[in-house]
Structure 1
Amino acid sequence: MTSHDALLLLSFGGPEGPEDVIPFLENVTRGRNIPRERLEKVGEHYHLFGGVSPINRLCRELKAAIEADFAAHGVDLPVYWGNRNWTPYLADTVRQMRDDGIRRAAAFVTSAYSGYSTNDQYLQDIARAREEVPGAPEIDKLPVYCDRPGFLDPFVDATRDALGRLPGGARLLFTAHSVPLAQPNRELYVAELEEAARTVADRAAPGTPWDLVYQSRSGPPSQPWLEPQITDHLEKLAGEGVRAAAAVPIGFVSDHMEVKYDLDVEAAGRAADLGIAFVRAATPGGDPRFAALPRLLMEEGN
């Protein structure tokens, strides 16, 4: 049983057509004075995929998987979906929840870790949306879940699969979104990433050497961010004689654009140039074990 009368799936959002790309990036970077030329440069990544980020499609699939899990376990709660940066916008979803008579909802965000951009900013999003909607329901963000089996187990299977497609002696590279060193709660974010990577490596391939690396850095070069970047680390590994690497995007729950471009295009291309066989492991996405997490977290809280 739960004291909530709805679940809110809360995500980042992404463009769903070429005309959406620049407005979406303007939403993401609002208040940061990013030059238009820089937005257009980043926008090229999206245009390689028809101007469509996979994240909204993946959220629809995850929402359906959560609903299926609810139905299979007798949980009679509606599932809503709202985004930070693109439609369906969170405030619009909260307004719909209010109009539907929802009084108290649990929020499951598509980010598994602590930290500012991965946790605290979603709390701010929720507070801001509720302020915009008179009579908004209470919304309780569910706990971070980077240590839960529903998140880690799919990565264990995906890591084994990725290594199975490479020659022996492959290196494991666990990747996560880089953040500025000055970002609040950065230390906790890194500690959780290290523990998740260690757990998956120990279970999937005991004894296999692994590294925690970062990707998707943005911002001015003068601002220090978490390192090493995966492309730089691939160069280092090539110099050490490593000839195969499996990238495990442990910092992500689904194959959104920063996985599809930064790993599948950019990192894979750099590895090919260096003569390194490269495979990228799958993310949890709509895996039923991952889709069960909202229900399990709600049950734990009651």
Structure 2
Amino acid sequence: MLCEGGVPIGSPALVACGGFRGSHRVRPGCAGVFARRDDGAVSFDALLFLSFGGPEGPEEVRPFLENVTRGRGVPPERLDEVAEHYLHFGGVSPINRLNQDIMAALRSELDAQGRDLPVYFGNRNWHPMVEDTVARMSADGVRRALVFATSAWGGYSGCKQYHEDIARARESVGEGAPELVKLRQFFDHPLFVEANADAVRAAFERLGERAGQARLVFTAHSIPLRAEEPVGPDGRGQWYSRQVAEAARLVAEQVGAETYDVVWQSRSGPPQVPWLEPDIVDHIEDLHAKGVDSVVVSPIGFVSDHLEVIWDLDNEAAEAAQERGMGFARAATAGTDPRFARMIVELIAEHTDGAPVRKLSEFPAAGSTANGEPCAPGC
């Protein structure tokens, strides 16, 4: 079946933003776009691994940050502050290396399952830019490809902006650009939840005797409140923050944590613009004032230990806890867990094999569309 936005018929259980499992809403004009095998599944030539990007040297930091913040009204002094974070680590973001590690694990998993699917790498904000990568895919003869974006979430930055990246890249290539189908959001995939849960358990173990008094705190990237209002296929808004809350609930349930908090980090906009709160550092201060002895922080909103995780959590949040005599342990992100690559292959199989959708929440399986089309009004 097809749902709004053009999810291929080869995904019988997958419904993108506009629908739920078992719905049959069809977007006119989408049928027949994808080639089919004799068994009814859809054929794809490659996978595009689409991510955020990061600088590889000091001279790249400011141009990279200008790409990231273009049109967002971020004050220059905030750019200077963030630039110092990168320069503290030699101007090199770990994100590209971490993405290469994930792709290496993914290629190994594809090979182990006998799947011949070349993997291409493109970024939104820095080299290799997605436009250049899609041009190379076209030159290599790729006609139809799946796209894995390194965000588990809905919302503008987590999903819609990747659809825009796809559309922009295809437009830059022009005639002959490959068809590109983005894989769905995966915040509630069992393997993603399991990997995060095991990382939380390991963080509690590192606290030793203080683990019994530790508070579990989940964190994700803050966004402006106005970005939350119109987003979501169910018309309720707050799509991103509700998904983060649900993922936190699923992980907390697996580790047996009856109490936990969901907080935010890494805000960057003008100070007069309200963003999701509380901030992780402010929250640690509040926990200390309430007599909490220790804290375990799970960066569930992030796939890898990139700079915002390392700086905002391993430096600022850890320092806030240590200054108050609190125990602090930060859980690992899920990207380097072997289950993460297996999850990506399962998402691929939903399209190539018609494999069933595995998910742990009642949220619709959202975010999968063809060629960058929006999957629901306002989404």
Same fold per TM (> 0.5)?
A: yes
Instruction: Please identify, of 238-247 and 31-40, the stretch whose mean Cα deviation from structure 2 is larger.
Output: 31-40
TM-score, scaled relative to structure 2: 0.77
Can you list the C-alpha shifts for 1:31-80, whole angstroms capped at 9, x where unaligned?
23444433222100011111111100011111111100000000001000
1:169 aligns with 2:213: yes
Can you list the C-alpha shifts for 1:14-38, whole angstroms capped at 9, x where unaligned?
0111111111001111123444433
Instruction: Please identify, of 25-34 and 246-255, the stretch whose mean Cα deviation from structure 2 is larger.
Output: 25-34
What is the count of residue pairs matched by the alignment? Answer: 301
TM-score, scaled relative to structure 1: 0.97
Secondary structure of 2:177's counterpart equals coil
Secondary structure of 1:292's counterpart equals helix
- Matched with 1:141 is 182
Contact 1:248 1:280 in 2 (8 A): yes
- Matched with 2:349 is 299
Question: d(CA) in 2 for partners of 1:272 and 1:21?
Answer: 30
Letter in 1 for 2:187: C
- Matched with 1:88 is 128
Shift of 1:286: 2.5
- Matched with 2:109 is 69
Contact 1:2 1:299 in 2 (8 A): no
Secondary structure of 1:146's counterpart equals coil
Residues 182-197 of structure 1 aligned to structure 2 (within 5 Å) = 182-183=226-227, 184-185=230-231, 187-197=238-248
Question: d(CA) in 1 for partners of 2:300 and 2:75?
Answer: 31
Contact 1:253 1:283 in 2 (8 A): yes
- Matched with 2:199 is 158
Secondary structure of 1:106's counterpart equals strand
2:302 aligned residue (221, 244, 252): 252
1:201 aligned residue (229, 252, 259): 252
Question: d(CA) in 1 for partners of 2:260 and 2:213?
Answer: 11
Question: d(CA) in 2 for partners of 1:150 and 1:102?
Answer: 29
Question: d(CA) in 1 for partners of 2:224 and 2:101?
Answer: 32
Can you list the C-alpha shifts for 1:158-214, whole angstroms capped at 9, x where unaligned?
00010111212100000000000000426111111111101111111343x210000
Residues 57-136 of structure 1 aligned to structure 2 (within 5 Å) = 57-134=97-174, 135-136=176-177
- Matched with 1:282 is 332
Question: d(CA) in 1 for partners of 2:275 and 2:131?
Answer: 31
Contact 2:53 2:127 in 1 (8 A): yes
- Matched with 1:181 is 225
Give the direction of change, closer, same or farther, for the CA distance of 1:241–1:286 in structure 2 (3 Å limit).
Answer: same
Can you list the C-alpha shifts for 1:241-299, whole angstroms capped at 9, x where unaligned?
00100000010111011101010111111111122111100001222210122221121
Tell me the C-alpha RMSD between the 2 structures: 1.2
Q: Which ranges of 4 or more aligned residues in structure 1 deviate by more than 6 Å?
A: none
Contact 1:111 1:118 in 2 (8 A): yes
More helix by share: 1
Question: d(CA) in 1 for partners of 2:257 and 2:73?
Answer: 46
Shift of 1:2: 4.8
- Which of the pair has the greater relative contact order for Cα pairs under 8 Å at 6+ separation? 2
Question: Sequence identity of aligned pairs in percent?
Answer: 57
1:243 aligns with 2:293: yes
Question: d(CA) in 2 for partners of 1:174 and 1:34?
Answer: 26
Question: d(CA) in 1 for partners of 2:168 and 2:68?
Answer: 16
- Segments of structure 2 that go 5 or more residues without pairing to the other structure are 1-40, 232-236, 355-379
Secondary structure of 2:329's counterpart equals strand
Shift of 1:108: 0.4
Contact 1:12 1:84 in 2 (8 A): yes
Contact 2:74 2:268 in 1 (8 A): no
Letter in 1 for 2:248: A
Secondary structure of 1:261's counterpart equals helix
Larger radius of gyration: 2
- Segments of structure 1 that go 5 or more residues without pairing to the other structure are none
Secondary structure of 1:171's counterpart equals strand
Question: d(CA) in 2 for partners of 1:196 and 1:32?
Answer: 28
Give the direction of change, closer, same or farther, for the CA distance of 1:194–1:33 in structure 2 (3 Å limit).
Answer: closer
